[in-house]
Amino acid sequence: MRNPAMGTARLSATGPATAAQAWERYARPELWSTWSPQIRGVETDVERLSTGATGTVLGPLGVRVAFVVDSFDEAGMRWVWTARVGPIRMHLAHGVDAAPTGCSTWLEARSAWPVLAAYLPIARFALHKLVA
């Protein structure tokens, strides 16, 4: 049965970065804080993401978000992860595609509607920085 409190939203952005540049910004957690304003740092044992990688995103006001990478497709420039803060979970899928003047990226997020409403404006800004 479908849960009406849960929702899915999709965002995308296009910019001058090459697909390879944008993909590197995703694939290396140490770079996340350079384009995503809500991320202060990332604690993880991996330099590059892979399926099964885990860690903690350090957010504002001491918020710590545990994550696990559910799938990571280097060749296809696609990855999926689940983030969790206490009982709140968000499932996120990302992709990067070459575009005529740079690249485009997209995000599909699934969580409770109030969580999505708070997250999507920040995510939209971050996606535009990712491809800048």
69: CATH: 3.30.530.20
For residue 5, what pLDDT is reported?
87
Range of the domain at 61: 11-130
Residue 125: HSE in the Cβ half-sphere, 13 Å Cα cutoff: 10
Domain total of the chain = 1
Is 5 a domain residue? Answer: no
Contacts of 119 (CB under 8 A, 6+ apart): 90, 109, 111
For residue 15, what pLDDT is reported?
98
Is 49 a domain residue? Answer: yes
* Tens-digit pLDDT profile for residues 88-100: 999 999 999 999 9
Residue 4 has pLDDT above 90, yes or no: no
Q: Where are the beta strands (DSSP E) in 23-116?
A: 41-44, 54-58, 64-73, 78-85, 88-99, 102-112
Is 6 a domain residue? Answer: no
Is 108 a domain residue? Answer: yes
For residue 1, what pLDDT is reported?
55
pTM comes to: 0.93
Is 2 a domain residue? Answer: no
Residue 128: its H or E element: helix 113-130
What is the mean pLDDT of the segment spanning 61-73? 97
- Kindly state the percentage of the chain with pLDDT values over 90: 95
